Structure formats: structure tokens, C-alpha cells
Amino acid sequence: MTEDEYTPIGWQGIFARVPRDWKLGAVGGDQKAGYLRIDDERMPRLQIKWVPSRIDLTRKRDEYIKKLGGKRRRPTGIEVDTKARFMGGRTKPDKDFQTFAWRGAQNGLGLLWNCETCGRGLIAQVTWPQDERMSDVAREVLASIEDHDEGGWRTWALDGMAFLAPSGYELGKWRWLTGYLEFNLAQKRRTLKVARWGIVSRILGKHTLREWYEAENWRRRDVRFQTREMEIKGHEGLAVWGEVKDLRVRGRAVLERLVGRKPVTQFAGCVWHCPESNRLYLVETLDAGEGALLEGVVGAVLCHPEEEA
């Protein structure tokens, strides 16, 4: 497969590049410990499990291999190669890892590691039916896995949308519906919302971006906002900014101004229409950084595949 046939997946500090027709199947846990499964229309393809501390690689590998046969009493015909090497040490210099492979009704490649950088233990596998030739793709996917942030930023990516958020921001509510994807992250009183709508004509109808946004948000109780049309990421867009209406937050901001510190929160946002993907994107922040968070997140949003190049 060529590079442009892959898309990023980013979740709780876990990152991988997978074929574009693989989609989220299941997810659970948090940044410390969790599970991520990526499927295609036939079956689960990539599974990743992470834990907050080191694991006994050989023992976990043997336990994992034992489970491959299920609970059947008869031989399953699975052939396991614990010496399979499909990833060199230079590929992951900060990892202590083991790899293995198996063949049977389903074939697969497995990977276990302890990360010296973040301290997490990780187990991953890619599986495919015996009638498919997937070993090269499986190697590419497993080699692409990372398990910690880079440069103070964490990648969040799902269903073709990707963005960066500061490492300290933790995931709260998120929604993934037909035609809609939304992430809400927070660090203390600072918040970040990133959302995407599909099929713009159905969302906007005959309305402009400004008319649509104002109609969707005029009942908001948390902020009092203004809007201005402007170009964002080379697309038709809308800038949004305003005041926080929550009296507790505003009271803290006034108090901090009185003692010579900057206000805690400022509301700002951007909305834009990406014609290449035929989707709407939104980023909203409550932040004390005078727009630095908003600018950084908007600049890193992947709104159409060509931006991956």
C-alpha cells in the first residue's frame, strides 16, 4: 500500500497509521490503561492494550499465545513462531520489545514492549484471514505505533480527522455519530472542543456559516460571543470570541486581575468549511494564553487527506 492509503489513529497518547478502510471498533480505559480495537468490514484488524507499568514480556507473550487456541480441547492447527522478527531495534530505540507471528485459520503478527520513555507496557496485534496477503501491511501498522506524546502535544485522530492538543489536556465527553465527531478535553478550568460535521449542504442548508453558528449557539449560557467572517486554513471560515458568562469563573478572573495576574479564561473559536472533504470543522477554547492554544490546535487540524503529505 502507498503512504496516502493510510490514515492516523490517535487515542490517549497511543498513535498508529492504519489503512483508510479500517475504522474504530471499540475503545475503553484512559491514558494510564486501556484498549483500542480497529476493524474493517470483515473483522477486527488491529488491537492494542496498554498498562501504566512494565510487563514481563516473555510471560505475557506466552499467555497471549495460549489464548490464541481458545478453550478448545482439540488441536487448533495454529503454528506460532516466537522468533519472528519484523521490526528492528533501531525502529524503536526506547523500547524493550518482543515480536511473534502465527498461522492458522487466521494469521497474525504480535508485538509486546516496555517503553523506557513513558514507562507504559503495551501489547498489540494485527490479524487477517488466511486467504489474504497482509503481512507487509501488518508490519507497517505495528511499526507505526507510538505510545507517548511528542514535544508537549498529543495526537487525537479518528475517522480521518486529526488534531493536536497539549499533553495536559484529558479527554472528557466525546461523541461519534453518523456524520458527526466531537472531542471535549480539559485541563483544570481550561477547555478545548474540536468537532466535525459531514455533508455540509445538509448542515448549512441555505444559511451562511455565520448564520448557522449563531442560530446553533444563541441560547448558550456559558459565554457571550461575537463572530467575524475570515479565511481559516485557506477555507471560508468564521472567527468567534467573547466573555465567559459563568459568574464563578468571571469572579476568579476579576480577582486575579486585581492582584496583578492575567485573567484565567478567554473564549475563542474558529469554524470553517473544507470543500476538499465537504465537512465543517470547529475548534473552541477557554484559555488564558491569549489565543495561543486556539492557534496551535487549528493549525494542526487535519481537515482533508492531502494535508497529511
pLDDT recorded at residue 290:
58
* Range 63-99 burial, b when 16+ CB lie within 10 A, else e: ebeeebbeeeeeeeebebeeeeebbeeeebeebebbb
Same structural domain, 134 and 226? no
Tell me which residue has cell 474540536. 194
This prediction's pTM:
0.88
Same structural domain, 108 and 227? no
Domain end call among 105, 127, 144: 144
Same structural domain, 164 and 282? yes
pLDDT recorded at residue 259:
42
Same structural domain, 217 and 301? yes
Same structural domain, 87 and 116? yes
CA–CA dist 266, 84 (Å, integer)? 54
pLDDT recorded at residue 305:
65
Domain end call among 144, 164, 199: 144
- Domain carrying residue 178: 153-308
Residue 87 belongs to domain with CATH number:
3.40.1000.10
Same structural domain, 172 and 100? no
Same structural domain, 196 and 246? yes
pLDDT in tens, the chain (309 residues): 677 799 999 999 999 999 999 999 999 999 999 999 999 999 999 999 999 999 999 999 999 888 886 555 444 578 999 999 998 878 899 999 999 999 998 999 999 999 999 999 999 999 999 999 999 999 999 999 999 999 999 999 999 999 999 999 999 999 999 999 999 999 988 999 999 999 898 999 999 999 999 999 999 988 999 999 999 999 999 999 998 876 455 444 544 554 455 554 589 999 999 999 999 999 999 987 657 899 999 999 988 766 654
Residue 287 belongs to domain with CATH number:
3.40.1000
Give 151-210 as a DSSP string: TTEEEEEETTEEEEEETT-EEEEEEEETTEEEEEEEETTEEEEEEEEE-HHHHHTT--HH
pLDDT recorded at residue 199:
87
Same structural domain, 246 and 301? yes
Same structural domain, 193 and 287? yes
Same structural domain, 129 and 168? no
Same structural domain, 45 and 76? yes
Domain count, the chain: 2
Domain end call among 144, 162, 183: 144
Same structural domain, 70 and 203? no
What residues have CB less than 8 Å from 239, skipping those under 6 apart? 227, 228, 229, 230, 232, 268, 269, 270
